[in-house]
Every structure is written in structure tokens, then in C-alpha cells.
Structure 1
Amino acid sequence: MLIVRPAGPSDLASLMELAVLSGRGFTSLPEDEATLLNRLTLSEASFSGAIAPREAWYTLMLEDSETGRIEGLGGVRAAVGVARPHFSFRVMTLAQFSSAINTRFDHKALVLVNECAGWTEVGSLYLRPERRSGGAGSLLARSRYMLIGTERQRFSETVMAELRGYFAPDGTCPFWDGVASKFFRLPFDEADHMVMSTDGQFILDLAPRHPIYVELIDTAAQEAIGRVHIEGEAARAMLEHEGFRGSGLIDIFDGGPTYSVPRDSIRTIERTEVLAAMKGDPADAPERLVSTASLGGFRAIRAKVRIEEGVATLDGGAIDALRLKSGEMVRVRQ
């Protein structure tokens, strides 16, 4: 059985392995043990309630209960842009009009903004390539919304997701080469690593302060604006299914799009109800997404659930996987 559970420092080796597999451009999963250990320590403190809600960053591991192997991870960051600005480019239209020649010009431009401050971010969604079918991705992705639903007041009214930007078949990043590198003047991998391993001061120091006219950048970089990495297409489809839509914001490094949605409009949150759990035979009941109802001991699985008169009946394996006692509350996605 696949179980989504909180991550902690003991998961460092598995997280490092996934970081290596994830490849270039996966900013939230750098190949750096110190950075990953800090993240796992922060996750443990977040689930235990040891830090302020807005500073929490919850990391979830997808574990195969039969083999013990970690098959993927996902994350929920309670609020971005709190300790430091969270910069994006907004793709805007700047209109210019000349009465002398009675002509109007509309120019697309990239404008540096800090609009996401305080938003909750769902991200870090990564699965081993061999697990990208059979519902594992859906379980992992939706478990993040189940987590948010357990204690909504801990999370922002707006939820965002940043999708990895486009990389060419030769491994280059057209948006970085055509735009961002002109300001940061570092190799992409070095700048990408610095995002997570430093306080980000270099972004504050070097990011462009004035609009960048899209017509003035090369064609390859223009075409990469808002384009998703080939490995991110499935993630985008899942986001759209939950109600996320493009926000008009893009990443300042790789040009990938930022999607957003009102927290209470996320489909999984809307269609989830809280029920008392009971151990029994669900018989031919349908499989549903089910999680614990508390943040501290959060766990999520897919299992057969029979719902009758406010009671969710699950078999012994599901009850054990969720570490529940009969009568405890669960959240069930309809």
C-alpha cells in the first residue's frame, strides 16, 4: 500500500536520492545534503507545531508500506515571501499611443513583482519515473490539499503552485540564457542552488528593476515564457483539475508559469467531509482518498470506504496505515 506521511530528518538519504533523480531546474529539491536536512528538520517542527504557522513548511513522503521505499515527495509551504521577498515576473501589456501619427502600440513586457507574499504554496511534487502511473501521482498531489483542509486557518486564502519551466532537449534553459542570465551572470545550476541554500539576497541585489520588453529578447526565450517543462505537464493537468489557473506570473529564472486558486475553491477541499472511522468490511465500496483529520499525525491513503450515517468503514489494513483507533475522525474525499 502507498502511504503519504510526514517527512523528518531520518528521510535524508531518500530525499537526496530523489533530488539526484529530479534533475536540473527542480529548485525546491537541490542536490545539497545540508539544505535538504534543514528542510526535513523544518518539516518535523512544522508538523509538531513547534514553529509559527506562517513559517511552516510541510514535506510529505510517499512510502510503499511493503518495501519501505520512498517513491516520491510533495510539499506545502504555509506562506511564501515572509522572511524575504518572493519575486516573479508579471507578463503585462504596456500601451503606447502617439497622437502625432494616430498610432497605438501594445508591447508585452516582463515586470518584476512581489505579488505572492503570504500565499500558501503547494510544490516539490516529484515521483520516481516508474511510479508515474497507476494513481500514485494523484494520491501524492491531492494529499497536499487534504493536509491544508485539516486546519485551513493555518494557510493562506490563496494557494499557488510554480511549475518548472521549459528546458530544450540539449539541457539548456532558453529563458535563463535569453533573459535571467543577463542580470545574474552565473551558471544556471549555481543560481538555482543559491535560491534554496542562501537567504536570496543576490536576487534582491541583482534582479531587474525596470520592465523588460519581450520584443527585444531572442525568439527562443520569448517562446519559453510560461511554458512548462515536459515532466511538468501531468502536474499542470492535475492542478487544473483542482481549479488552479494561470496567474500571469512566471518564474524569474526559467520562465515557468505560476498557477493559483482560492484555498476554499480547491476541488479536493470542497468535496471532502469529516467522518468517524470504524473498522469493518467495506465490501464493494469504491476506493476514495482518505486521510487523518489532524495535522500533527497526518497520513493519507487510497482505500475502499463505505459511508453510512456519518460513519466511514475501512478495513483493518487501512485503519493500521492511517494509525487510527475506531471512532477517530477521518477526512474522506467524495
Structure 2
Amino acid sequence: MLVIRPIEQRDFAILKQISIESGHGFTSLPVNDELLQKKIDHSLTSFASRAGGKGDCLYFFVAEDSDTGEVLGTTALESAVGLTSPFYTYLLGKQVHCSRKLGIHNVVETLTLTNDYTGVSELCTLFLREPARHGMNGRLLSKCRFLFLAEFSELFDRRILAEMRGVSDEGGNSPFWSWLQEHFFSMDFPTVDYLTGIGQKGFIADLMPKYPIYVSLLSKEARAVIGKTHDKTRPALHLLEEEGFSWRGYVDIFDAGPTVECEVHNIRTLRNSRRLTVQIGHPVRAQTHLVSNTRFEGFRALLGEMAINEQKGQAVMTRAVASLLKVEDGDTVRVAEMKRND
């Protein structure tokens, strides 16, 4: 069984392996020891010194196999983007060129560089390793963050976003970036992806076009991938769409992948979750539930079989499940029912 827990220092080696496995375009996990250590440090600090409200905090989790102790995935929440370094996106918009006298009315699409998401919370760093890509593991990795959000909502913005990896090939070549590179840059996509991942974003402000780009001027290949998602990222996007996330025209400035967003209080799993009291025993007519304890630094979440006693407001679970959640009789858990098609 996979158990979600905050990252620890002992996870460094496997985090580096995951950063290698994640490949090009997964900007949040660069293959760089110093930056990976900074992410661990940032998360440890965020959990150890709980903020009084939204701040520059990172809550980084790993998925650990309870039988082997092997870490098989990562997932994270960033409380607010763009506070310490600019958070850039392109906004896909429209401009109208009209002449009544000539009887011409043209609507053209544009891409405008923005910092519109500054201060918004972010879902990030979701990666499930190949051996664990089965069953409901992907859903656990994605949805566990919503229980944390529900329990500690004061630490996050009213809106939350998620950047979806855009289209690139096995060599890390992005059709969208190829056009930008030809006209404005002299760096290939893997290089800019890596520089962004390690926080060296100054080149963006220096070299990115400041004025709106007419989409019609882009190459056919670049136009075709605007707002499109990498094949490996489509399942993650589908899960977020089920939760109520939608695309509102913002795309990544390097690969043009879509940035989706949702009002936190409208997230389906968060909205449907509730607090219940633990009853350790033998659940009758048990069903699969997404469940977490209500601790901050000691947060745990998993998918487990349990029964709900509606009259007593109890979550009836086995001793084994309670042990993995680090709860006892009478403790509080947060629960959301899960179905195979959720």
C-alpha cells in the first residue's frame, strides 16, 4: 500500500533518481543536487515552522510503499508562486483588426507575456514511477493534496493552478520553443528547461518578446501545440478536470502546455471530504476511501478500505490502516469516498 508523507532528508537519493526518470519538460525536478537539496530544505522548513498564513512555503510529499519502504512517487503544493522570483505565463487572447470602410473584420489570436498568477497557490511535482503506475495510485498521488488543502486552507490562496507539461519529443525538443529559439533565443529547449528548474530565470525578462506575439506568425508546428498536453501528462490533466479545474487560456512560455486552475472551495474532493472520528475494529461492508490524518508536520494519507458509521460520525478501520495513518481510537481523520471511476 502507498502512504503519502512529507519528504525527509533520507529521501534525497531517490528524489535524484526520480528527477532523472521524469525526463525533459518536468521543470520542477531538475537533475541538480543543489536545487534538489534546496527543495527538501524548503519543505522541511515549511513543515517545521508553520506559517500563520499564506507565504513562500513548499509542502513536498512522497509516496512510500508500506511493505518495502521504497519511494514510488512525488507530489507537492506551493503556497504562493511568484513571490521570490517572477512566475511567467503566456495568455492566449484576441485582437480585432477592423475597417468598416473596407469591409474588413479580422480576429487574430495573440500570446501576451504575463505575471497574472503571482500569489496564486500551485499543485506541482506530481510524478509516479513506472512500477507503481497501476490501480488507483495515480489518483491517490493527485487527490491527497486536496485533503491537505481542506485541512490547512488558511495557508493557501483562494485559487490554485497546475502547469501541465506541453508537447515535446523523446529528445526534449519542443515545437513551440523551436520557433522562439529561432527568433529570440540561442538555447535549445532542454537548456532553458534546466535553467528555469534551477531558478535562473533572468534570461526570460532579458530575451522574451515584450509585446504580444501574433499566433498566425508562428510556424504550423508551434501553433498546433498551443494549449496541448504531453502524452504522459494527459492522465494527470484528466484527474484535475474531474476535480473542476479548467483551462482559461494561460500556457507555459517554453512548451505552450496549458495551465489549469480552480477556486479551492470548488475542488470536488475537497468539497466532498469530511472529518470523522476513528473507530478501530472490523469494518463491515467496507469501501475504498481516500483518508488522511489531520496532523500538519506528521501528515499521512492513503487509500484504504473502511466503513462509515453515519450515526456516530465514525470511520471504522482496521488496526493496520490506523497504524499507517498514525492514528488511534478517537482521533480525527479526513475522509473522501473513492470509486474506481473517480
Superposition TM-score, scaled by structure 2 size: 0.94
Q: Which residue of 2 aligns with 1:132?
A: 133
Q: Which residue of 1 aligns with 2:124?
A: 123
- Structure 2: distance between partners of 1:138 and 1:198: 29
Q: Which residue of 2 aligns with 1:333?
A: 336
Structure 1 residue 62: Cα displacement: 0.5
SS in 1 for 2:328: coil
Q: Which residue of 1 aligns with 2:90?
A: 89
- Structure 2: distance between partners of 1:269 and 1:279: 24
Distance 1:146 1:269, change over 3 A: same
Q: Which residue of 2 aligns with 1:142?
A: 143
Percent identity of equivalent pairs = 32
- Structure 1: distance between partners of 2:240 and 2:58: 20
The letter for the 2-side match of 1:324 is V
The letter for the 1-side match of 2:316 is T
Q: Which residue of 1 aligns with 2:66?
A: 65
1:322 correspondence with 2:330: no
- Structure 1: distance between partners of 2:185 and 2:149: 35
Q: Which residue of 2 aligns with 1:55?
A: 56
The letter for the 1-side match of 2:102 is I
Q: Which residue of 1 aligns with 2:46?
A: 46
Q: Which residue of 1 aligns with 2:103?
A: 102
Structure 1 residue 199: Cα displacement: 4.7
Distance 1:306 1:38, change over 3 A: same
- Structure 1: distance between partners of 2:123 and 2:182: 27
Do the aligned residues in 2 keep the contact of 1:2 with 1:301 (CA within 8 Å)? Answer: yes
1:263 correspondence with 2:270: no
Mapping for residues 1-334 of structure 1, pairs under 5 Å: 1-49=1-49, 53-168=54-169, 171-179=172-180, 182-308=183-309, 309-334=312-337
The letter for the 2-side match of 1:28 is S
5+ residue gaps, structure 2, are: 338-342
The letter for the 2-side match of 1:276 is T
- Structure 2: distance between partners of 1:227 and 1:84: 26
SS in 1 for 2:72: strand
- Structure 2: distance between partners of 1:64 and 1:168: 31
Structure 1 residue 183: Cα displacement: 2.7
The letter for the 1-side match of 2:3 is I
- Structure 2: distance between partners of 1:191 and 1:170: 14
- Structure 2: distance between partners of 1:326 and 1:245: 40
Do the aligned residues in 1 keep the contact of 2:122 with 2:162 (CA within 8 Å)? Answer: yes
Superposed CA offset, 1:181-225 (max 9, x none): 633321222211111213522222222210111111100000011
Superposed CA offset, 1:248-292 (max 9, x none): 100001110000000000011000001111211113310100001
Superposition TM-score, scaled by structure 1 size: 0.96
Equivalent pairs counted in the alignment come to 334
Do the aligned residues in 2 keep the contact of 1:181 with 1:188 (CA within 8 Å)? Answer: no
Do the aligned residues in 1 keep the contact of 2:3 with 2:302 (CA within 8 Å)? Answer: yes
Structure 1 residue 50: Cα displacement: 5.0
Do the aligned residues in 2 keep the contact of 1:277 with 1:330 (CA within 8 Å)? Answer: yes
- Structure 1: distance between partners of 2:333 and 2:204: 43
| Structure 1 ranges of 4+ moved more than 6 A | none
Do the aligned residues in 2 keep the contact of 1:84 with 1:199 (CA within 8 Å)? Answer: no
Do the aligned residues in 1 keep the contact of 2:25 with 2:172 (CA within 8 Å)? Answer: no
- Structure 1: distance between partners of 2:33 and 2:316: 42
SS in 1 for 2:142: helix
SS in 2 for 1:333: strand
- Structure 1: distance between partners of 2:49 and 2:279: 28
Do the aligned residues in 1 keep the contact of 2:294 with 2:332 (CA within 8 Å)? Answer: yes
Aligned Cα root-mean-square deviation (Å): 1.4
Structure 1 residue 295: Cα displacement: 2.2
SS in 2 for 1:274: strand
Superposed CA offset, 1:274-332 (max 9, x none): 11112111133101000011222111011122221111111111111011122111000
Do the aligned residues in 1 keep the contact of 2:181 with 2:188 (CA within 8 Å)? Answer: no
Q: Which residue of 1 aligns with 2:340?
A: none
